[in-house]
Chains A and B, each alone.
Chain A
Amino acid sequence: MSRLGHLLGYRLAGRPLLRLQRRRDERRLDSLRSGPDRPLEPPLRSIARMKEMMSGHYLEGRHASGVRPVAWVTSGASTEILLTLGFFVIYPENHAALCGARRRAQHLCEVAEDAGYSRDICSYARTDLGALLSGETPVGRLPRPDLLLCCTNICQTVLYWYRVLADHFGCPLVLVDTPFQYGPQPQPHEVAYVRRQLEEIVPVAERVAGRPFSEQEFTAIVARAKEASETWLEILERARHRPSPLTAFDAFTHLGPIVDLRGEQATTDYYRGLLAEIDRRIAAGIGAVREERYRVLWDNLPIWYRIGPLSQWLAARGVNVVASTYAHAWGELAPLMDPLHPFESMARVYLHPILNRSAGQKLEAMRGMVDDFSADGVILHSDRSCKPYSLGQIDQRDGLVNQTGVPALLLEADHNDPRSFSEEQAASRLEAFVEMLGG
């Protein structure tokens, strides 16, 4: 039945329908015109294809159980190993963000809280646990995992979160522990430690998948992941242009495939198409914000449930949030990926995310981005849910103000739980910040 469902629901009916939907979306996007009353350019046309890809991914997820081995993984986990074995991969964090963007997260958080999960726990975890407990999700249904893969390079919450999932689903949990990085380069023993853990994923994943691991296939997937990550980085770097052809809010929206589908050929193709579209904007002198007067760097996760209004509000004041440490996290690791030494290089990659590095290194990275993107100011989203990202922000903010001379604002919110966001307080701070930029 599951194979038939996969064939009918996904391959024969679902995908063609999504293709039709994409064409309809493209026609609608083509009909949109920029105008003096619109502070933002119409969305990039590629968004229609991105929607098709992500909807297709979650649609396949509905029918994946019993057809493909299913793994649930953290955003900083080595998905390339799993793709080599044909796993269908779900990122609960990405699913939670999707719930946040569709304003479904608060309800799901409340379901988790009713079950006893503290409101102080990350709102991604609460959103997903709420979806698990209630069976409610905007994507219809998530496939039950056969394997859980958790990497501690983004936070410690995932450790407990995935233990809860392992207990709930009764499936194997593989943990990859990545020592926190205080210096600019990992120590050789740290790389060896992570490399061995990555290698140890293989026999467990082979057992679950019921097929042998192919080094050759792994190399090819790492090569594709590298190419997609490089292209993603190139896209983000295009925001150095004045006016910038994209905003960080665009980057947040187009982030889905590089997180969820990294290593697949379609992802690499998609980002090449997006890059070409952005280059056409540059050639035509089109900026994402009609009148870009100020350029701003964003730190931390997006406020998913406010992306649209916030980007409109800022654009109406001539502010373009041109870059973010968050979207860069999936691009800046590309140079470390080496298909010829896949395990060794992936150990380095998974040690190196910004969240696994010290507060001083993050400040260094942000200072570099202020220069690279000619930022006039920085907004640091102090994210109640993401403690590792937010810890150190007060000092980082002071460091940026003192070392770069640009104003920096600490904006208190939460990436997924709107109850930790006060519209009025945020507005008054943002308004004062824009005045400091000179507006």
Chain B
Amino acid sequence: MTGAAAIGVDAGSTTCKVVAVDETGALLASRLEATHPRLEEQAAGLITALVGDLGPVEPPPVVATGYGRQLVRGAARRVTEITCHARGVFGALGHGGTLVDIGGQDAKAIRIGEEGRPIDFAMNDKCAAGTGRFLEHTAGRLGVAVADLGPRALGATAEEPISSTCTVFAESEIISLIGRGADLDAIIRGLHRSLVGRIVAMARTVGLGPPLILSGGVALNPGVRAMMEEATGMAVILPPHPQLTGAYGAALIALEG
């Protein structure tokens, strides 16, 4: 594999992603790992490995994004996730819209303009509710694998309302529900509803308009997707690699120089 023209690194709070693109902006290769505490070494290692995957080429320019972007050695530029996600979605889909990115540590709603630039954004503040961590945390409490959450929410025949949108209080609520003998899948469905309600309310603050695009690790959850469609009355569009959107956007910015 040759022709890598740029690399993007998204050093996120949960996963670290690196992607390489050719001079046309097409995705050539990518790597994704759970974020290590020693992020600096990890990002450097992932870049080296990716360059290795691409064969004997001159290391292309790197743009870094994500919470750990300052720790990415050799990056030509460091750009926020907001700009990179907007650029990544625009590059992958060829249009703007309202992007909802649900990552491990935060959730963002970004209105993307015609040229792939962010016009407006909102992020969750000082609270993990409405983020991937909310689902991860409660999945752990329920003893269910994260990947199984979405299908089980969709397959549930009933729904337990989770009134609290606070991760910690939601956990207390779940414990009470379990104690009352509530159906596990109904609880999971209620959790999804609670998360989606919060996300949609945030997305409305940037003027939620079609097309509605979802990215980030939580975009892989079919339950969240279905409930987002239900709550907004809009079809949810996914970019080809929802988890790599930020890194892909960073690579496109690196390509532009």
- The residues of A with any CB-CB pair to B shorter than 8 Å are 394, 398, 401-402, 407-408, 410, 412, 422, 425, 428-429, 431-432, 435-436
Complex alpha-carbon distance, A425 and B106, angstroms: 10
Q: Is the CB of B125 within 8 A of A425?
A: yes
CB-CB < 8 A to B117: which residues of A?
436
Complex alpha-carbon distance, A436 and B83, angstroms: 8
Q: Is the CB of A407 within 8 A of B119?
A: yes
Q: Is the CB of B83 within 8 A of A401?
A: no
Q: Is the CB of A412 within 8 A of B126?
A: yes
Q: Is the CB of A425 within 8 A of B205?
A: no
CB-CB < 8 A to A425: which residues of B?
123, 125-126
- The residues of B with any CB-CB pair to A shorter than 8 Å are 67, 79-83, 117-123, 125-126, 205, 207
Chain B residue at smallest Cβ distance from A382:
B125
Distance (whole angstroms) from the CB of A182 to the closest CB of chain B: 25
Q: Is the CB of B205 within 8 A of A398?
A: yes
Which of A402, A408, A429, A432 is in CB contact (< 8 Å) with B83? Answer: A432
Chain B residue at smallest Cβ distance from A394:
B205
Can you name 14 A-B pairs with beta carbons within 8 Å? A402-B207, A407-B119, A410-B122, A425-B123, A428-B67, A428-B81, A428-B123, A432-B82, A432-B83, A432-B121, A435-B79, A435-B83, A436-B82, A436-B118
Given A425-B125, A425-B126, A429-B123, A435 contacting B207 (CB threshold 8 A): no
Complex alpha-carbon distance, A432 and B112, angstroms: 13
Complex alpha-carbon distance, A435 and B77, angstroms: 12
Distance (whole angstroms) from the CB of B117 to the closest CB of chain A: 7
Q: Is the CB of B120 within 8 A of A422?
A: no
Distance (whole angstroms) from the CB of B257 to the closest CB of chain A: 16
Q: Is the CB of A422 within 8 A of B126?
A: yes
Chain A residue at smallest Cβ distance from B121:
A432
Given A432-B82, A432-B83, A401 contacting B125 (CB threshold 8 A): no
Distance (whole angstroms) from the CB of B87 to the closest CB of chain A: 10
Chain A residue at smallest Cβ distance from B79:
A435
Q: Is the CB of B120 within 8 A of A401?
A: yes
Distance (whole angstroms) from the CB of A26 to the closest CB of chain B: 40
CB-CB < 8 A to A429: which residues of B?
123
Which of A398, A428, A431, A436 is in CB contact (< 8 Å) with B207? Answer: A398
Chain A residue at smallest Cβ distance from B117:
A436
CB-CB < 8 A to B80: which residues of A?
428, 431-432, 435
Given A394-B205, A398-B207, A402-B207, A432 contacting B118 (CB threshold 8 A): yes
Complex alpha-carbon distance, A220 and B205, angstroms: 50
Distance (whole angstroms) from the CB of A38 to the closest CB of chain B: 23
Complex alpha-carbon distance, A428 and B125, angstroms: 11
Complex alpha-carbon distance, A429 and B126, angstroms: 13
CB-CB < 8 A to A431: which residues of B?
80
CB-CB < 8 A to A408: which residues of B?
120
Complex alpha-carbon distance, A34 and B169, angstroms: 53
Distance (whole angstroms) from the CB of B66 to the closest CB of chain A: 10
